[in-house]
């Protein structure tokens, strides 16, 4: 089962679930509590669809541009929960900073990593469960809690669905 990632996907899923729920109500058939499970999932989807903070873009690039100066050393920590390469930690000198392509919010970095000559690209796209923290200078990864960051952005954590109730509602 895949979970919706965009507002349009949530809308399509809500409409399909409402149609299924109406079918259950019309047939008056609720063996295995499928209608209750469907209504509970519909509740979570509607809550996320109308969560205004989740869908309004936050100006990550503008905040970074104001706080980070090009050519200075920095330490960058990018965390993507549940994604490929979930955690990236880089120390280096920032060469360039770009915004993400519209309609996404985020930033792209060109950084010359510590001990390297050639720049590398790192990108951050604000999304559910993602966060970025930029520290001044070369900060060891073990000292991150003691240093005040230049910039920090964290999106809302992913929704945790109740797996126990869904497992009991499934047919044997």
108-154 pLDDT, tens digit each: 899 999 889 999 998 888 876 788 899 999 988 888 888 899 988 88
Residues 126 and 65 in one domain: yes
Residues 36 and 69 in one domain: no
Percent of the chain with pLDDT over 70: 82
Residues 95 and 27 in one domain: no
d(CA 78, CA 74): 13
Residue 105 has pLDDT above 60, yes or no: yes
Residues 26 and 63 in one domain: no
Overall number of domains in the chain: 2
Residues 68 and 101 in one domain: yes
φ/ψ of residue 72, rounded to 5? -95, 150
Q: Are residues 100 and 61 in contact, defined by beta-carbon separation less than 8 angstroms?
A: yes
Residues 43 and 70 in one domain: no
42-64 pLDDT, tens digit each: 998 898 888 876 776 668 888 88
Residues 75 and 118 in one domain: yes
Residue 17: domain span: 7-50
Closest CA to 97 of 116, 79, 131, 74: 74
Residue 79 has pLDDT above 70, yes or no: yes
Work out the mean pLDDT of the chain and round it to a whole number: 82
Residues 82 and 18 in one domain: no
Tell me which of 132 and 161 has the higher pLDDT.
Answer: 132
Residues 143 and 77 in one domain: yes
Answer yes or no: is 164 within a domain: no
Q: Count CB neighbours of 133 within 10 A.
A: 18
Q: DSSP secondary structure string, 44-112?
A: HHHHHHT-HHHHS---HHHHHHHH--TT-EEEEEEEETTSSS-EEEEEEEEEEEEEPPTT--EEEEEEE
């Amino acid at each position: 089962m895949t979970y919706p990632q965009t507002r349009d996907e949530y809308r399509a899923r809500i409409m399909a679930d409402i149609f299924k729920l109406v079918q259950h109500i019309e047939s008056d058939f609720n063996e295995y509590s499928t209608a209750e499970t469907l209504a509970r999932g519909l509740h979570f989807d509607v809550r996320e669809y109308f969560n205004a903070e989740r869908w309004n873009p936050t100006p990550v690039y503008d905040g970074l541009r104001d706080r980070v100066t090009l050519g200075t050393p920095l330490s960058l920590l990018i965390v993507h929960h549940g994604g490929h390469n979930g955690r990236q930690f880089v120390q280096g000198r920032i060469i360039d900073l770009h915004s993400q392509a519209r309609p996404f919010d985020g930033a792209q970095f060109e950084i010359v990593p510590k001990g390297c000559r050639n720049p590398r690209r790192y990108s951050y796209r604000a999304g559910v469960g993602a966060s970025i923290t930029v520290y001044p200078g070369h900060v060891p990864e073990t000292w991150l809690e003691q240093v005040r960051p230049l910039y920090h952005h964290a999106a809302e954590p992913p929704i945790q669905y109740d797996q126990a109730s869904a497992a009991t509602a499934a047919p044997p």
